[in-house]
Structure 1
Amino acid sequence: MRRIIAENPNWSLVLVPSLSSMCMQCIVNNFEEKQTYEQLTPSQQDFIQERLSLSLPLCVTANLIPDGVYWKRCCEHKWDLCDVSRYGYSWRRMFFERHLENLIELFIPNVTEPKTILDVLPLCKNYVKRLNISQLLPPIKDPQEERVEEEKEIDVTLINEHDEPCVHHFDLGLVLKELANLEELHLVYRVKECGMNFEWNMFEMTKRDCESLAKALKSSKTLKLLRLHQSHVEDKKCRLLVKHLLDHPSLRELDLSHNLIGNSGARAIGKLLTRSQLEILNLCNNKISELGAKAIAHAVSKSSTLLVLNLRLNLVRDEGGTAIVEALQSNTTLHHLHLGGNDVTWLTASALAKVLEKNKTLKSINLSCNSLSEVGGKCLAEAMSYNTTLTELNIGLTEVDEQTASFIDKVVCTNQLRAQETG
């Protein structure tokens, strides 16, 4: 019997690909010209997803390749960190949200063609639920314009005439009106890693930016959360935003922290509380004083939906602080209140003590970094001896004596155990 010895001793018949595998590989190699996918069996579709080129145009893959291995490969190829749990465990949603975010963050007005973003929107509009825009780039200045501005800076009178920055950013209205499923928008008007090119106008929105954003928010009927922070939003811009958010059908959380909102903006936000379904309001680190706090307090007394109110690092003082806590006598929904760092004293603590004796809704209160003194601490301690529902009361750095603070902590711990037992 004759034997045939292969030149390659490792060769065997197993190495010969099957005809079906060769056909599948042919589909992979020619996928852009002939898009065959839905007609295949599940196992064949898995074969395709594992081998498709990651450089295929999005217009080919966006609506044809379902969520799965292909989009996981795309994400892991493009970004080092990929936490799919933050995207509802959808790799396709992660890819399109982060891809669109990157396009917007790198958009340079008057340089980048808007078409680069507008062409992507029809492909990703069904999958984007959240946008986290961490920077918006201003236009690149012409050297001649820079010289003119330097000359203006010499004349103080001219500086006052040009307070409104003229560096407008990408118009987010073009994007928001197309995203029919958008639920969260996190937005910062700033430039990351600007280095020695730092200018203050890189860290604020212009009036035109605000107008276009406000109109877009009004038309975004599915938006549940808006976070616009660290963007120098002052009273005029705040009022303009609120004007377009009144009676918004879906907005539940508003975060305007770390801005420049004062009493006029606070009054507008108070109006918003009475004409919306807001559940969470964060106004941390603004310039709200007594009058603004009173306006918010009046709205809180009428609100039937607000669960969380954060006024940390403002200037509400006792006049505003007492108004806020007294509003809780008629409010039956608020669970969490933060008045830390607001220059309130024992007067606010005393007013709060009267509320705590009867209120059964509040779960946590933060009064840290205020001057409550021993008098305020004793008022709170006496009220807590009657309260069985408050599970957090932060009085750190408030000049309350250790014995009183220890007693309050014990009552809070008891309430926490009771809450756990009752489920």
Structure 2
Amino acid sequence: MTRQYLKERAGLSGQNTTPSVDVPGIVRDVIETIRRDGDKAVRKYSEKFDKWSPQSFKLSQSDIDAAIANCPKQTIDDIKEVQQNVRLFAEAQKASLKDFEVEIKPGVHLGQKNIPIDHVGAYIPGGRYPLLASAHMTILTAKVAGVKHVIGCTPPINGQIPNSTIAAMHLAGADEIFLLGGVQAVAAMAVGTESIQKVDFMAGPGNAFVAEGKRQLFGQIGIDLFAGPTEILVLADKTADPFTVATDLVSQAEHGPDTPAVLITTSPEVGRKTVDAVNRLLGSSDLSTAAIAKTSWEAFGEVIVVDSMDDLWQLANQYASEHVQVLTRNPRDALTKMTNYGALFLGEKTCVSYGDKVIGTNHVLPTRTTARYTGGLWVGKYLKTCTYQEVTSEQASGDLGRLCGRAARAENFEAHARSGDLRAAQYMKDNIEWIQKAKARL
């Protein structure tokens, strides 16, 4: 495959890449201190990291009502409309999951049930951007799945309650809302404190400390994904509009200074014009996030020209990007050509920002090529797929007993074999020596 780079990733080679803080070490200390000291430690870290120490971190119903009342009506209406989109898609996902039971042979019944997780924690970031949409994606999806109890945590913003985020969390169905941020929130939900119930599973994006906290706690609780920086990959042929390509690349580059924004195209002209358009957009005085987006584009942006559509699909699958936007003559070709992606956005009438904010599919998606082996957050992540089995026929139990005896002894599991032997003796009248001796000793 021939590749021509019209813009290469510069990376951070010109900067000091030595971590200024020991993120894993700090996170480890926070988790262990909260595990030991509970609410006292939560308050200490909230004061230290967020300058926030209210009488109670848990919001009362009157606090929630006040937050909703302080939101513009249009904001509340928009939250409800977006959440309806998310709900409809999540309900369709759940409907696709069926409990079943099958009789694989006479008297042998095998079944499967999808059981909701009991207790879930949802982390909704604040900081640079109050991510209302994360409330829809994590809390609402969990409630559609049937989760009994969902705790939502979000940090204060500049010492204030983020009213619109609280409204989104409440309307999504959170059973408890805590104004608590950072790794202290993640740790408190994961290990449990006097005032915060331990959860079984945690979902939601966050900064490096939040991500590291989830990584260290994985195994003690379940998590949605090991998240990295947001990614966008645009696939374009000669029919694509370079200004549209550029606008959509910049839309994701503003997420942070380390967002990969990549174009793979079969058209050198589209590639060159896209680079020019991105530079013009980032030089505009009316883009409030231009500085962040420019840093990301300069360090991690790429524009690659390939020879053919086959090469385009092949390279796209190697990237295994979180978001793949397809701006080609036949965008639905991606449904058969692509196998590695978090989510597809087909055609110029669609864009990644729709998926991030409003369209209804989940925006918690795999990054850093993990799309090669997993999809994103969905109703199924909140369900445990459990099996059961029942043998109702004496003949079937006896046959299985004989089979189990042979199969277990092939692996040197004698006690396993004897469980099978017992059924073979009981239902098939097999004369098994160890059973006779054992019964004689009783």
What TM-score, normalized to structure 1?
Answer: 0.20
Q: Which has the larger radius of gyration?
A: 1
What TM-score, normalized to structure 2?
Answer: 0.19
* Greater relative contact order (Cα < 8 A, sep 6+): 2
